[in-house]
Chains A and B, each alone.
Chain A
Amino acid sequence: EIVLTQSPGILSLSPGERATLSCRASQSVRSNFLAWYQQKPGQAPKLLIYGASSRATGLPDRIVGSGSGTDFTLTISRLEPEDFAVYYCQQYGNSPLTFGGGTKVEIK
């Protein structure tokens, strides 16, 4: 089973600042099959990125996924109020499907 480790656990930033979220896999993710989700309190997760860098429909340009192999990054260039949430990475290159523990982006 591939273990995904997300860091930091909590990111305290102000609106307009840049957020950099890390997701590290315990072994190489086949074909960079990695997705990112955003979850707000009381809501279901929402797909942001798939294939490490492909944007879901309607995703603003300020949110970018990158990386390959075992190291992946989600970057939000300028935080908007609606970006404060918890973010999860998920790998789907190997069975079983696994998720990271999440990074909470909170308002500083």
Chain B
Amino acid sequence: EVQLLESGGGLVQPGGSLRLSCAASGFTFSTSTLSWVRQAPGQGLEWASTISVTGSTTYYGDSVKGRFTISRDNSKDTVYLQMNSLRAEDTAVYYCAREVLPGYFDLWGRGTLVTVSS
């Protein structure tokens, strides 16, 4: 089955760190551009980050730039999102998505909830 499965979400204090993982199956991961898109509770969608097929190029939205780092391990069919200096406004469901260039998303995971609160 073609799918993306996120993990690693949870409750973290402001200023803390968390690493999300997204495991892919059912398609050729190493030739796929992957992204993270987030959705705050009751709100709309916000693109956060994208990584190229080799991992050599990464892109970030302004709200996460300098705090989040996207990476991938093509030997494990997994993409990661390292989140540092977390803020309350980072509270959201984080979705992993396969990006079809030049930039729409044709496959989404179920999401993992990150809650930043003291």
A contact set with B: CB distance below 8 Å: 33, 35, 37, 43-47, 50, 56, 88, 90, 92-93, 95-102
Contact = CB atoms under 8 A, between A and B. Distances in A.
Interface residues of B, number: 20
A35 B108 CA distance: 14
Interface in B27-80: 37, 44-47, 50, 59, 61-62
A99 B62 contact: no
Query: How would you classify the secondary structure of chain B's contact residues: helix, strand, loop or mixed?
Result: strand
Contacts of A33: 102-104
Contacts of B45: 37, 45, 88, 90, 99, 102
A45 B61 contact: no
A25 to B, nearest CB: 14
Q: Which 4 A-B pairs have the closest CB atoms?
A: A92-B103, A44-B108, A35-B104, A97-B47
